Homo-oligomer: A and B are copies of this chain.
Amino acid sequence: MGTSRASARSVVFAPLDPHSRAETVVRRLTDAITFGLLTDAEQLPSETDLAAQFGVSRVTVREALVALRQQNLVETRRGRGGGSFVRAPTAAADRSLRSRLSELSLPNLRDTADHYAAVAGAAARLAAQRADADDILRIEEVDADVAGPLHRMERAYHLEVAAVAQSARLAREEIRFAGELGTLLWSPILQTADSTYDPHAEHRAITAAIAAGDGDLARRLTEEHIETAVERLVTLHLTLVEP
């Protein structure tokens, strides 16, 4: 029993998140830009709006924008009609993703992924129990969206499922994971590595299970879906750390 007490203790006294709020905002925006969610030349919300949405002060938002300007990810113009505009050099984005990935420890990556799979799987299971016809249509619509890049659809799909599950807590968790890991997990730099990657087929299977009310199947498929994505990430991580 001594060991279990020790490990339980190490959980209680584990270090707090060491990132400052400004750093977190930088990461969120960098994620959104490199993810392609904010596209080239697009205008960000005003500093005041960003501050309100992030729940931080304008000073902190400005500090984050300074960092983004230094990394050439945004350009800022003054005056009426001014603001910060995305300048997405895809090469730099790719570089930033790779550096973030190599900074993550492998155990940490797997732990986060386990947690993510637990939440996404539970959301899929609940969605199967609670979805009505309209919900199914909305989910299919998101998956069928071919307007944007593939990885954007990936994240939107999982968010939609979480919304259908009607669990405020699980939805909140999904949102947290999307910020923490989603950018890496569904990143385009992974998709070249494996030609068998077919998210639409996997999503259709999950959606079908949800529509059929088969919660256990929907969960299993979702977990496998995430697991294979994690394996791709781990492979890339290994090639980065030990080339």
Q: Which of A's residues lie within 8 Å of B, judged by CB? A: 1, 3-5, 7-18, 21, 24-25, 28-29, 31-32, 37-38, 45, 50, 53-56, 111-112, 114-115, 117-119, 121-122, 126, 138, 141-142, 145, 147, 152, 155-156, 159-160, 163, 165, 167-173, 175, 178-179, 182
A contact patch SS? helix
Taken together as a complex, chains A and B put the C-alpha atoms of A1 and B148 apart, in Å, by 10
A1 interface neighbour in B18, B117, B141, Cβ under 8 Å: B141
Taken together as a complex, chains A and B put the C-alpha atoms of A193 and B112 apart, in Å, by 39
Closest 5 A-B residue pairs measured CB to CB?
A118-B122, A15-B55, A13-B53, A4-B156, A12-B32
How many copies of this chain?
2
Interchain CB contact under 8 A, B15 and A54? yes
* Least CB separation from A116: chain B residue: B169
Interchain CB contact under 8 A, B160 and A7? yes
Q: Least Cβ distance of A119 to chain B in Å?
A: 6
Can you give 25 contacting A-B residue pairs, CB < 8 Å?
A1-B145, A4-B142, A4-B160, A7-B156, A7-B159, A7-B160, A8-B156, A8-B159, A8-B171, A11-B159, A11-B163, A11-B168, A11-B178, A12-B28, A13-B45, A13-B50, A13-B54, A114-B122, A114-B167, A114-B169, A115-B122, A115-B167, A117-B122, A118-B119, A118-B121
* Least CB separation from A142: chain B residue: B4
Interchain CB contact under 8 A, A8 and B37? yes
Residues of B within 8 A of A37 (CB): 5, 8-9, 12
